[in-house]
Amino acid sequence: MSKTITTHYDVAEHLRSPEEMAAYLEACLEEADGDAAFIAKALGDIARAKGMSQIAHEAGLSRESLYKALSGERTPNFDTILKVVKALGLKLHATVALTPTNQVTQRN
C-alpha cells in the first residue's frame, strides 16, 4: 500500500481578490455559530493574504498584537475587529435571520 503525501493548506494563499476575501468572510460568518475566535481566525487569514504588516499599520496596531488577536486562540475586542475589517477594505452588514420566532406571516 502506498503512502499518501499531504501538504499544508493555507487559505491565505488562495484569497487573491477583494471579492474572494469578502466571500470567504461571509461564509465564515455563516458557519461560525457564535464562535468569535473562528471569525477572528478568518480575519487573520484575510490579513495574511493582504499583508499583515500593512493591515496592522492601517488598523493602528502592532503586527505582533494583530497576529495574537487574529490567531483564533483568543477572542479579540470588538473595536479591534472593526479596525481590522476597515483596514481590510471590507464591511460588515446585517440581515434578518429567518427563524420561526421572527418570520413574518401574511394575513389574508
Gap between the Cα atoms of 76 and 36, Å rounded: 8
Q: What is the pLDDT of residues 50-89, one digit of tens each?
A: 999 999 999 999 999 999 999 999 889 999 999 999 999 9
Gap between the Cα atoms of 60 and 87, Å rounded: 9
Closest CA to 32 of 81, 86, 105: 81
Q: What is the pLDDT of residues 5-42, one digit of tens each?
A: 998 899 999 999 999 999 999 999 999 998 999 999 99
69: number of Cβ within 10 Å = 24
Which residue bears the cell 479591534? Answer: 80
56 contacts 63 by C-beta, under 8 angstroms? yes
